[in-house]
Chains A and B, each alone.
Chain A
Amino acid sequence: MHKRIAHASWLAVLCFGLASVSIATAASTTPPQGIRSKPASLKLFTNARIIVSPEQTIASGQLLIDSGRVVAVGESVSASPGAMRIDLGGKTIAPGLIDPYTEYGLAHVGRLYERRTQRTPKLDGTREGANAWNDAIHAQVEWVDRFRVSRKDAETWYKRGVTTVYSIKHDGIFRGRGFVANLGDALPNDEVVAAHALAGLSFDKGTSQQTYPRSLMGSIALLRQTFYDADWYRAASAAFEANPNQQMPEFNQPIATLGSYSGPFLIEVDDELTLLRAARIAEEFDLDFIYVGSNMEYARLDEIVALDAPIILPLAMPKKPEIASLEDERDVRLADLRHFERAPHNARVLHEAGVTIALTGHGLTKKEDFRKNLRRLIAAGLPEQTALAAVTTVPAELLGVSDHIGTLEPGKMANFAIYSDDLFAAKSDLYSVWIDGDIAHELLSLEAIDWRGDWQLTIDDQSYDLSIKGSRKKLTGTLGRDTTTVKLSNLSGELRHLHFSAPLDSFGTPAIVRVALTSIGNRLIGSADLPLGRVPATATRTGDWEPVADKTEAIVAQPLLSTLTFPNVAFGFETMPEPEDILIRNATIWTSDDDRGVLRNADMLVRDGVIRDIGENLDAPSDVRVIDGTNKHISPGIIDEHSHICISRGVNEGSHSNTAEVRIGDVVNSDDIAMYRALAGGATAAQLLHGSANSVGGQAQVIKFRWGKPPEELKIETAPPTIKFALGENVKQSNWGDNNRIRYPQTRMGVESIMKDGFLAAVEYEAAWDAYDELSRSDQARTVPPRRNLQLDAMLAIRNSEMFIHCHSYHQTEILMLMRLAEEFGFTLQTFTHILEGYKVAPEMAAHGAGGSSFADWWAYKYEVIDAIPHNPCLMHQAGVVTSINSDSQEMIRRLNQEAAKSVMYCGMAEEDALDMVTINPAIQLKIDDLTGSLVPGKDADFVIWNGPPLATYSTVEQTWVDGTNYFSRERDAALRVAVTIEKRALIQKLLGADSTGSAPSHSEQKMEKEWHCDDVQDVWHVRGR
């Protein structure tokens, strides 16, 4: 981490020696108005408990400051007799806290882009200056330029004991550079600690009104392309400088800024999976990322620890699930309860695993929750020293300002706060916040007495129990005797004087007494006014005040009840299953292999995740578990050519007509319960496809249903890249309403043109690279290189048969069009998906070599499927087309065997052929048939154990195995149902008493996904009025 901030060597410029201090502070460029204020800056704090740093606390010591800096700190320091002495009487001095993620001083900026009222899509960016094409990119912005000092704004933080913040506008994807500033009242010029601090990133396009990106994968693609652009821009500028006799590259300020930035980026992520997604970008471009996390990191701890990157954790805790009402409880998921219980433990868990953590108040809606939640993290086991470091030294280091702030060591900026007790004590009151050696904000006078506690009050010769509570600023109290208690009115305590009134009727005196007391030594003396006259009153303290215990803190301190599973939702695995060596005996085996067919009374041997042998009466090695397959049927695992489950935040980028640069692989969601349900229906693999909202969609991802594994481990590494294309009504926006009439294309004619244009561009792109690659090294240095274009990379990969198209298609005309276009560019169209008129051109498809993946019986939902027929698979199959049946739905993926069986019903397909349509044929279409899709020795052991023939209506799945590993069985499922219920009940009991001040999203709010459909075009960044 030290290495990571080493870039901040510019800080050395600011790092002055004490000798030069007076010169530096005198050197203000701002002319004074009226008389200059020059208070003495040499101050000695004595009799203080001093937290110098997380490592060092002085129980009773002295702190000497001058000219805004700590001069000396120790049990006793030598100070000039002229120093102003401040006796703290045992109070605590702690370093000013640092919040590394705020928008302080930028409130006046407002939205970067006003909300548009037009409903037509905004395809182009707002061009002003030589800015980026996309409004979510403003890497060139230096937020320090917009910094305004605001006492009102600062209050949020200084009341938490924070003296310094990092600030950047939380808007956009490339957000520009933030700054570090103190929270004092002086000019921005004086408050800035680091003017050019970390650059900020996120995935959220913020207030940008441009349509692109409208999905998480679109944002990731934009990040990736922009980083490539920055590299290109650097090279292009250098080449042009070396040789101006060529076309001048565009001037682009944000890209130029990005290209010259070498520091770490601060990137905000919503959950642990998105953190891992961000990490893949950091890895790809060799960048240092500091993550603003989500407190969901515990759920994928190993992967996150492996990143060896610091994480700034929000102190904001999740909203409390609605468990108070028996009725609303129905909507609460086990995952919500688990996360609510575990989020306060996240910081500890990360710390124990060796992750460097800082903390931020970002996301808190109530100021006081900052310290309250800090205490809760400590209650959850986070060591106090780590907690302190997380709000002082760690953020100072991450922000590159540790030479100046974070501790009270000599030479550091005199930023600190004075507390009545220990920094983390619940009863500790904050007196004042000192910035740059001056008192910046006084919340309570050091002189003020804490009246709270129990007193014995004597009025005349009557004795009462006086009890004072509340906050220092707003006292409440009671007067009592025996079992009688009355409330005090007009209670106030200023400096040394306390006064109040109370009705004495309940004590037998029909009057209101007014009391005024003054503190002298340990006693209070004064007088009480009664109808008969004024009498003496005295009080002595009998008990100290104790704050009301935080019930939630007590709950947090209890041992965790929830189980942590993979994924951390209902039906997850507490420990991941391992591959087993097994022999299935005496089963009916549907191999989906032409040579083997259906084997009766057969055995299958599985070892190391792979099928070793299939046949009759196999020898049983002694170390394998034997499963009796009598009356059971075994089939290959079902494979779905077309699915949209397991996708986070948007299935369609869909904003532009060609988005070949986006990748579903960037947004695989390993936590989707639809995966588990699909396993329960015998599915073991699927192609996760981009939607069909545009002509060239995004790159697809083929995964296996290794339920519990993180996204990267679901991917079938060897599956060749695939991409979604689409045709017809969706891409020409036929059913999108009248606001969508401007994006090209709006007809099937235009669909062909735009696709062709993409391939033509790819061919030119290849030629440009070829020409560049042929240049000598020295000529290359003098030649502006072609710009790496991720969209054209994909188009070119298609043209070169390195990436394969799965095309959403219905009409025969468009099917023919795309085959002819592919032929023109010399590649084969891999698979037409949906292809409901495939039967009309099945022989043509067979001649071209395209596969067809059909719905079994869908039709009539839009005009282009008016001629869809359930005999489509039969006719395609009959013509020699490799035919599969897909689900395109989280419902049907659970019973694709039935969907395949419909071809037996409608048009008499042989059962084995029908089964092939959901096993080996989709495997062929996805080019993973060397791995899976049929049961033959050497292939992955992906199979299903059924209680009857796999296509029969009345058969159900008993077990589903992937890679020789049992990921689903009805026995385990039955046990989990019980476990889920028990765990939910226990967690509800535990958490009922916790308070509901949480302000971070609940697990459901953050992690639940829509049931994505092909034509779902919601802009994921613009919901709830954004």
Chain B
Amino acid sequence: MFAAVNRIAVALVLLNALAAAHDQVPGEPQSEPILLRGGTLYTVANGVQAGTDILFENGRITAIGTDLTAPGNSRVIDVSGQHVYPGLIAANTQLGLIEIGAVRATNDITEVGTFTPEAKAHIAFNPSSLIIPTIRSHGITTVQTVPGGSLVRGQPCIMHLEGWTKEDAAVEYTDGIIMTWPGVRVSTGWWVEMTPEEQRENQVKQRLQLRQLFADARAYHDLRATGATIAIDQRFEAMRQLFLREQPLYVGANDARQIVEAVTFANEYQVDLVIVGGREAHLVVDLLATYKIPVIIGSITATPAHADDPYDTPFVMPQVLHDAGVPFAISKGGYWNVRTLPLQVGHAIAFGLEPAIGLRAVTLSPAEILGIDDRLGSLEVGKEATLFVSDGDIFDHLTRSVTRMWIRGRQVSLDNHQEELYRKYQEKQRQWPMLAPE
């Protein structure tokens, strides 16, 4: 019945034997060079390189090539037959801000108000979340965590999924501003409380409010730029990074009409735009390509936005964007379910996406969009040694099994709460013949 080997369990045993066992205890900073020998390297930047070595020291990749010479004190690990990937980057998550959906005490996602750009995700990010290790074991090393809310929500952070503290885990404390574009769709379903007129009125109100907020923020920024001494408004202060074009404005927009409005708006206010969600981005690819607006696709395994849409509309979205030359990343919003990110890519590949493009969409592309591609997103000399080894294709759930992972050269435990429970209750089943009532 269980002919197939429990690969993760075996991997854990191996790990325990080879390296210092540290059950979800953060690994120590890299103290010796590590050479992974003979793996298939998915470099992203330079294609797939079979039978290639990769060397990293002090948390950085120092060499990639065949038959590399390991420095004297190196730990050499034979990974031949295995796949080496840069750590997957999960954009647009709420990981670390929430632990249990229905338990309000564990929820730090949304601040009060419709204009809360001062709310910084990193402040609340919980590096001890039980969920984090369950995400990591799927090859995901790095996440962008975003606040929730209804209009201007706050500041995302970018975190590694490893660290004693959030300061230890941080990649970027603040990463622009995230907002949700006002709704445009009028729902006529019988269950909808508001009439179409009320909905429209509400939407217009939100749009006007948004313009006012940006006008005020811009005015504040302009005055600050003159060097004048004025009272500090934390909210407007937070918005300055947009006008300085240091960081992008992430706009949650799924409907094509929202996307068009957001592009117009960003152009008007001269801010750098990233579309998040993009469920109908396929309808406005020309606009997105023209203005080079990146899209973080919210989910591949989504249902189509409209009843008349083809059933595979979300599945083929990445290919449509790719064909049109729109930069994009693939994400899976949420928290515990962020671990289905590889499946999201796999599903798109099943519906025709080129595998290399799929891999890029969860590595280098999000790194570029989030502005961390100088450190992350590919296996290149000089970049962080944030990478992992898998027994098989990371996007094929029948073959993949993450066996080792390093974040900044620190070896990461692949164990988690769920694996512990699995072991515990395997033990119960072993004992059952003794426990069972007659």
Q: Is A839 at the interface (CB under 8 A from chain B)?
A: yes
| A676 pairs with B311, CB closer than 8 A | yes
- Would you call B336 and A908 a contact (CB within 8 A)? no
Contact of A861 among B102, B312, B419 (CB under 8 A): B102
| Chain B 175-207 near chain A by CB (<8 Å), digits 1 or 0 | 000000000111111111101000000000000
Q: Whole-angstrom distance from the CB of B64 to the nearest CB of chain A?
A: 28
In the bound complex, residues from chain B placing their C-beta under 8 Å from that of A890 are 303
Is B228 an interface residue when CB atoms closer than 8 A count as contact? no
Asked whether A902 lies within 8 Å of B191 as measured between CB atoms, the reply is no
Instruction: Decide: A904 and B350 in contact? CB cutoff 8 A.
Output: no
Assuming the contacts A901-B397, A953-B396, asked whether A895 and B301 have C-beta atoms less than 8 A apart, the reply is yes
- In angstroms, Cα B422 to Cα A655, docked, is 38
How large, as a class, is the contact surface on chain A? 35 or more
B223 at interface by CB-CB < 8 Å: no
User: Is A79 an interface residue, CB under 8 A from the partner?
Assistant: no
A570, B313: Cα distance in complex, Å: 15
Shortest distance between the CB of B330 and any CB in chain A (Å): 14
Contacts of B1 in A (CB 8 A): 877-878, 910, 913
* B122 sits at the interface (CB 8 A): no
A909 to B195 alpha-carbon distance, docked (Å): 51
Count B interface residues, CB 8 Å: 67
A898 and B190 within 8 A (CB): no
B14 CB within 8 Å of chain A: no
List the A side residues contacting B397 at CB < 8 Å.
898, 901-902, 904-905, 953
B398, CB-defined interface residue at 8 Å: yes
CA distance A862 to B46 in the complex (A): 44
For residue B192, which residues in chain A have a CB less than 8 angstroms away from its CB? 1023-1024
Name the interface residues of B1-45: CB closer than 8 Å to any CB of A: 1-8
Assuming A908-B5, A977-B310, is B336 touching A862 (CB within 8 A)? no
User: Do A680 and B311 form a contact, CB below 8 Å, given A953-B346, A953-B350?
Assistant: yes
Contact A906 B8 (CB under 8 A): yes
- DSSP class of B's interface residues: helix, strand, loop or mixed? loop
CB distance from A606 to the nearest CB of B (A): 25
Complex Cα distance A398/B427, Å?
73
Cβ A843 vs Cβ B2 within 8 A: no
- Identify the closest chain B residue to A335 (Cβ): B307
CA distance A635 to B124 in the complex (A): 48
| Contact of B432 with A843 in the complex, beta carbons under 8 Å | yes
* B2 closest partner in A (C-beta): A908
How many residue pairs link A and B with beta carbons under 8 A? The number is 185
User: Given A328-B186, A843-B432, A956-B351, are A860 and B336 neighbors across the interface (CB < 8 Å)?
Assistant: yes
CB distance from A108 to the nearest CB of B (A): 27
| Set of chain B residues within 8 Å of A482, measured between Cβ atoms | none
Chain A residues with CB under 8 Å of B191's CB are: 1010, 1018, 1020, 1023
Q: Are A842 and B302 in contact (CB under 8 A)?
A: no
Is B211 part of the contact surface with A, judged by Cβ < 8 Å? no
CB contact between B308 and one of A859, A861, A879, A984 (< 8 Å): that residue: A984
**B56 contacts partner chain A, Cβ-Cβ < 8 Å:** no
Output the nearest chain A residue to B433 by Cβ-Cβ distance: A843
Contact residues, A647-701 vs B (CB, 8 A): 673-674, 676-677, 680
Binary interface profile of B, 306-320, with partner A (CB < 8 Å = 1, else 0)? 111011100000000
- The answer to the question of A288 belonging to the interface, with a C-beta cut-off of 8 Å to chain B, is no
Q: Does B77 contact A (CB under 8 A)?
A: no
B350/A955 in contact, CB under 8 A: yes
- CB neighbours of A1024 from chain B (8 A): 192-193, 195
Judge if B421 is at the interface, Cβ distance under 8 Å.
yes
Q: In the bound complex, how far is the Cα of B397 from the Cα of A951, in angstroms?
A: 9
Interface members, chain A 843-894 (any B CB < 8 Å) = 843, 847, 857-863, 866-867, 869-871, 874-875, 877-879, 890-892, 894
Q: Is the CB of A863 within 8 A of B422?
A: no
> Is A942 interfacial (CB 8 A cutoff)?
no
Q: B374 CB to closest chain A CB, in angstroms?
A: 32
CA gap between A842 and B428 in the complex, in Å: 10
Q: In the complex the two chains form, is A879's CB within 8 Å of B350's CB?
A: no
Q: Is B425 an interface residue (CB 8 A)?
A: yes
Q: Is A891 within 8 A of B398, CB to CB?
A: no
Q: From residue 933 to 955 of chain A, which have CB atoms closer than 8 A to chain B?
A: 949, 951-955
Q: Mark B408-435, 1 if CB is under 8 A from A, else 0.
A: 0000000000110110011011001001
**Cα distance A916–B333 in the bound complex, in angstroms:** 30
Complex: A125 Cα to B1 Cα, angstroms: 56
Instruction: Give the residues from 209 to 251 in chain B that come closer than 8 angstroms, CB to CB, to chain A.
Output: none
B307 partner residues in chain A, CB cutoff 8 A: 333, 335, 569-570, 673, 1008
A1023 to B195, CA, bound (A): 11
- Nearest CB on B from A516, distance (A): 47
A907 within 8 A of B: yes
Contact B185 A331 (CB under 8 A): yes
Partner of A954, one of B190, B346, B436: B346
A402: interface (CB < 8 Å) = no
Asked if A954 meets B349 with Cβ closer than 8 Å, knowing A869-B418, A871-B422, A878-B429, the reply is: yes
User: What is the chain A residue whose CB lies nearest that of B401?
Assistant: A905
State how many angstroms separate the Cβ of A198 from the closest Cβ of chain B.
27
28 A-B pairs with CB atoms under 8 Å apart are: A327-B184, A677-B303, A842-B429, A843-B428, A857-B340, A860-B99, A860-B336, A862-B100, A862-B102, A863-B102, A869-B418, A875-B429, A902-B397, A905-B400, A909-B4, A911-B4, A911-B398, A951-B398, A953-B346, A953-B398, A984-B308, A1004-B188, A1004-B189, A1006-B190, A1008-B190, A1008-B307, A1023-B192, A1023-B193
Residues on B lying within 8 angstroms of A by beta carbon are 1-8, 99-103, 130-131, 184-193, 195, 255-257, 301-304, 306-308, 310-312, 335-337, 339-340, 343, 346-347, 349-351, 395-398, 400-401, 418-419, 421-422, 425-426, 428-429, 432, 435-436
Known contacts A322-B186, A729-B102, A892-B301; 6 additional CB pairs below 8 A are A734-B102, A860-B130, A869-B422, A908-B7, A1008-B307, A1023-B190
Chain A residues with CB under 8 Å of chain B are 322, 327-328, 330-331, 333-335, 569-570, 673-674, 676-677, 680, 729, 734-735, 839-840, 842-843, 847, 857-863, 866-867, 869-871, 874-875, 877-879, 890-892, 894-895, 898, 901-902, 904-911, 913, 949, 951-956, 973, 977, 980, 984, 1001-1002, 1004-1006, 1008-1011, 1018, 1020, 1023-1025
